[in-house]
């Protein structure tokens, strides 16, 4: 029996039309794309909640003046502020998190405050306000976690699932959406490789065999919005994603970008630097234990809750895999990687051109362009 597909765009539009929606972390790479796609679906209002006023200003400049967008400065660690932000809201997309593995490894107390206590704050605020549903965005790092970031995000998933069976008679539905790396997001390898290539290398890769799930932010968020209306309570929706070798990604970007910066691509070295603390060679999106209670659709898996009631998902079939790991998937070829980068507009030189202070002795003028070789 084939797995069924998710609902189409028309269904999404009808589901979100006229809703009042809060997006925490709404100025991040994923959160801001959630905002953009939601605005195309006709909500009554989208409240953008984040702690970065500069990013809020930049998003406001991008979107222009709109009566259906509100910008709220706040932190998910602050329960009283979060309660105000949730007032009158129908749906919440929770994208606020500390996401960088080394940063969480060296600052574990801060990771707990944001990724665990922040989620608990959101659950309490949503239950008090009887929000219709809360969708938390998770990560592949939660599957058999080897680092602080993954452990805190796993606990966040468990809190979301537990909220469904300890909410009493409140109507709120809590679900999670889990996916891998987002192509070109802030702090990801694509902008890093851009900068390294612009300077002539070396391009640093942790291991030549390292694989990662990778998807554009637009594709990921489209499926997040699909999953957002499918949840019945306690599920974790896992997006099916392409896999690539980071070494191949680096090689494709060097070949495409080095000549644009005036370098010979053969002379831009790719070097192995070793795994960082808490980092894995391959990533998992679903463990063997989770696969045993998972359902499958065309675009995603649905992990049913470990405890509490398990809702039916008509048309979904039992998962046909024992686990879902980047090690088990056929990685994209270099031609496919290049096509994906071109499709997402990630092989231009624009993202790494920026003004930086001149160093002493570099010549006249207080500023220079970083990255490009000038004749």
Report the CATH number that the domain containing residue 305 is assigned in CATH: 3.40.50.720
Gap between the Cα atoms of 101 and 358, Å rounded: 32
Q: Residue 50 domain-assigned?
A: yes
| pLDDT given for residue 7 in this prediction | 46
Q: In whole angstroms, what is the distance from residue 21 CA to residue 134 CA?
A: 10
Range of the domain at 287: 9-353
Query: Is 361 part of any domain?
Result: no
Distance between CA atoms of residues 134 and 173, nearest Å: 6
Decide: 247 and 290 in contact? Cβ < 8 Å.
no
Residues of the chain with pLDDT under 50: 1-10, 351-375
For the chain, where are the E strands, in sequence order? Answer: 20-24, 45-50, 69-73, 91-94, 133-139, 173-179, 181-183, 203-205, 211-216, 236-239, 243-245, 270-272, 284-286, 294-296, 300-303, 317-318, 324-325, 354-357, 367-370
For tokens 């019945």, what's the residue? 232
- Alpha carbon distance 230, 275 (integer Å): 37
Residue 373 lies in a domain: no
Does 28 reside within a domain?
Answer: yes
d(CA 265, CA 269): 8
Length of the chain: 375
- Chain position carrying tokens 């932000």: 85
Residue whose C-alpha is closest to residue 142's, from 163, 158, 123: 158
- Cα torsion 82, 226, 217, 4: sign: positive
Residue 371 belongs to a domain: no
Domain membership of residue 174 (yes or no) is yes
Find out whether 210 and 181 touch, Cβ atoms under 8 Å. no
Angle at 356 between CA 354 and CA 359, to 5 degrees: 145
Q: 224: closest CA among 71, 316, 95?
A: 95
Q: How much is the pLDDT for 40?
A: 96
Q: What is the pLDDT of residue 310?
A: 79
Bridge pairing between strands 181-183 and 211-216 = parallel
Decide if 293 is inside a domain.
Answer: yes
Please say whether the beta carbons of 19 and 43 come within 8 A. Answer: yes
| 372 lies in some domain | no
Q: What's the distance, CA 336 to chain centroid? A: 22
Residues that are catalytic: 141
Q: For position 6, what pLDDT does the model report?
A: 47
Residue 353: per-residue pLDDT: 36
Counted domains in the chain: 1
pLDDT score, position 12: 57
């Amino acid at each position: 029996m084939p797995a069924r597909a998710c609902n189409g765009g028309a269904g999404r539009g009808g589901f979100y039309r006229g809703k009042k929606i809060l997006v925490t972390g709404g100025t991040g790479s994923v959160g801001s794309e959630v905002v953009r796609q939601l605005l195309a679906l006709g909500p009554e209002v989208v409240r953008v909640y984040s702690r970065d006023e500069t990013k809020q200003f930049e998003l406001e400049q991008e979107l222009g003046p709109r009566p259906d967008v509100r910008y709220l400065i706040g932190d998910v660690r602050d329960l009283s502020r979060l309660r105000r932000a949730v007032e009158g809201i129908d749906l919440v997309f929770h994208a606020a998190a500390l996401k960088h593995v080394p940063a969480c490894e060296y600052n574990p107390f801060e990771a707990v405050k944001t990724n665990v206590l922040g989620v608990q704050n959101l659950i309490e605020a949503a239950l008090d306000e009887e929000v219709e549903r809360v969708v938390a965005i998770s990560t592949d790092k939660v599957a058999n976690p080897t680092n602080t970031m993954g452990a805190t995000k796993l606990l966040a998933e468990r809190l979301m699932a537990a909220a469904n069976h300890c909410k009493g008679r409140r109507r709120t539905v809590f679900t999670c959406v889990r996916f891998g790396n987002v192509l070109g997001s802030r702090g990801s390898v694509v902008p890093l490789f851009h900068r390294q290539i612009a300077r002539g290398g070396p391009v640093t890769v942790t291991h030549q065999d390292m694989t990662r799930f990778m998807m554009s932010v637009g594709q990921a968020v489209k499926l997040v919005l699909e999953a957002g209306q499918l949840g019945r309570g306690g599920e974790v929706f896992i997006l099916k994603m392409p896999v690539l070798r980071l070494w191949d990604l680096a090689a494709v970007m060097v070949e495409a970008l080095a000549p644009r910066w005036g370098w010979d691509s053969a002379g831009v070295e790719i070097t192995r630097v070793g795994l960082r603390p808490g980092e894995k060679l391959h990533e998992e999106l679903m463990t063997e234990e989770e696969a045993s209670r998972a359902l499958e659709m065309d675009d995603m898996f649905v992990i049913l809750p470990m405890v509490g009631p398990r809702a039916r998902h008509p048309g979904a079939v039992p998962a046909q895999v024992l686990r879902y790991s980047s090690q088990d998937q056929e990685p994209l070829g270099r031609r496919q990687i290049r096509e994906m980068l071109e499709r997402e507009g990630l092989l231009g030189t624009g993202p790494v051109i920026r003004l930086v202070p001149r160093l002493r002795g570099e010549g006249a003028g207080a500023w220079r362009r970083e990255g490009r070789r000038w004749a």
